[in-house]
Amino acid sequence: MATARAILEMGMGNDLHGKDYTKAAVRAVKDAMHHSSLHFLKSFDLDRKSIIIHVKIGVQDPKSVNLAEIKKIIPFENAQIHVEEGGLDVVDEEMDDTIVIASAAVEVMLPILNA
C-alpha cells in the first residue's frame, strides 16, 4: 500500500535531573503530538491499521531509550520508532548533574486513495 505523509511535527523534551533518556524522549514525542490534531482523519473513514506513524528520536545515548514506553503514548498500533544519536546533554560539573535534551519528529502517513 502506498502512503503519503500528511503531518510532520517536531518536539523537544528534557529530563532536568536523573539523566533519564526515556523520560526526555517521551516528553519530546508528547510535545510533537500536541502540536497537531488528527481529528480530521474521521472524515476519511480510514481503517486505523492503515495509518502509519513514524517516530524519530534523537538523544545522546540511543540504546538507553525504552521503546515500549514510547509505544505506550502513540494512539495508533502501527508505529515505527527509530532512536538515533542526537539531542543534547548539558553537564553541570559544579552540581555533578546532567540535563538530557531529546528531539523528536512524528510523521503521520496515510494511504494514498484512488480518485
CATH number at residue 11: 3.30.1330.20
pLDDT classification of 21: cutoffs 50, 70, 90: very high
Reported confidence tier of residue 43, pLDDT bands at 50, 70, 90: confident
How many CB atoms sit inside 10 A of residue 5's CB? Answer: 11
Q: What is the pLDDT of residue 45?
A: 77
DSSP string, the chain: --EEEEEEEEEEEEESSS--HHHHHHHHHHHHHTT---GGGGGGT--GGG-EEEEEEEES-GGGS-HHHHHHH-SSS-EEEEEEE-SEEEEETTTTEEEEEEEEEEEEEEEPPP-
Q: State the pLDDT at residue 44.
A: 76
Q: pLDDT: is 45 or 57 the higher one?
A: 57
The residue range of the domain holding 17 is 3-37+46-111
What is the per-residue pLDDT across 84-108, written as a single tens digit (0 to 9) for each? Answer: 999 999 999 998 999 999 999 999 9
Instruction: Please give the tally of structural domains in the chain.
Output: 1
pLDDT at 19: 94
Query: Per-residue pLDDT for 70 more than 90?
Result: yes
Mean pLDDT of the chain: 92
* pTM, rounded to two decimals: 0.91
